[in-house]
Amino acid sequence: MKALLMIIACLSGLAQAEGTAVARLKVQEFNQLFNGLDEVKTNTWENWGLTEQEWTTYETIKAKTAWGSWGNEATPLQLLSIYATNIEEKRRYARLEAKLDQWREDAVLNYQQIYNNEREVIHAKYAAFIKGRRPVADNLGPKDAVAFFTYAKACDARCKSMMNRLLSSGTKIDVYVMDDVSQEQVFEWASNANIPVDRVQAKQITLNYDKGNFNQLSTIPVAFASIPVAYVKTEEGFVRLAL
């Protein structure tokens, strides 16, 4: 029984080794299939795998047959195959055409993969550049000042997310409530937005009524604005903050 198992194991190992060898051979054959196609040739006919005499035949076909005046896009190999006098020649030209087409497809796919990789690199660099140029919450610090415009309704998930990012930056925040509500409602909104009382008492955060401040900073009417919205003070003035 042990001898049988050893024989089976040996046969299995031989089969795997043979399979590996066949796989390597197929890779070599694949590489040889396109060998030389990516080289720049001295003569045009060499790019098509043709001889000078065959190229002359192709030019004669173009000049003296209907194909030359039909305005078609037939390749030299296609025309030579069409006018070949025997099936062997027709197949040879068709095979050369298929080989070139497969190489071109493979080359384009390889290029596309390389391009996609490089495009991701460029996009990442561009995104980092834009992020560094445009005011974003991640770039804010205690020395910055932000004007935050909101309605006194309950601070929803988007509102809390925006406020949390501002609070974590440590920047000075001036909150402007845009609707006509009582002071108690303003305080209720602040509590709902998790605004620390000690920072309000220290005047790091102020609670205000909007008295035209939004119209001074925004280039669009309030009816079309996405409230809440924040603006950060820069050397050029207040700029909308990306949150």
Q: Does 12 reside within a domain?
A: no
Mean pLDDT score, 198-202: 94
The pTM of this model reads 0.46
Whether 117 and 147 share a structural domain: no
What pLDDT was estimated at residue 36? Answer: 64
How much is the pLDDT for 28? 56
Last residue of a domain, one of 101, 133, 165: 133
pLDDT at residue 89 greater than cutoff 90: yes
Which pLDDT value is given to residue 73?
82
Which of 100, 133, 166 is the last residue in one of the domains?
133
Mean predicted confidence (pLDDT) in 69-87: 88
Domain check: are 115 and 190 in the same one? no
Do 61 and 83 touch, CB atoms closer than 8 A? yes
Question: What pLDDT, in 10s, does the model give residues 7-35?
Answer: 445 445 545 655 555 445 455 565 566 66
Residues 148 and 235 in one domain: yes
pLDDT of residue 14: 46
Over range 143-169, report the average pLDDT.
89
Q: In terms of domains, do 214 and 147 share one? A: yes
Read off the pLDDT of each residue in 76-86 and give the average, rounded to a whole number: 92
Q: Across residues 133-160, what is the average pLDDT? A: 82
What's the pLDDT tens digit per position in 208-228?
999 999 999 888 888 888 899
Total domain count, the chain = 2
Where is the domain boundary, 105, 133, 161? Answer: 133
Distance CA 136, CA 14 (A): 63
Is 236 contained in some domain?
Answer: yes
Same domain, residue pair 113 and 54 = yes
Q: Name the helix (H) or strand (E) containing 208.
A: strand 205-209
**Mean pLDDT score of the chain:** 82
115 and 157 part of one domain: no
Residue 150 domain-assigned (yes or no): yes
Structural domain includes residue 22: no
Note whether 210 and 181 are same-domain residues.
Answer: yes
Task: Tell the burial category of 19 from Cβ atoms under 10 Å away from its Cβ (0-12, 13-18, 19+).
Answer: exposed
Q: Which domain holds residue 115?
A: 42-133
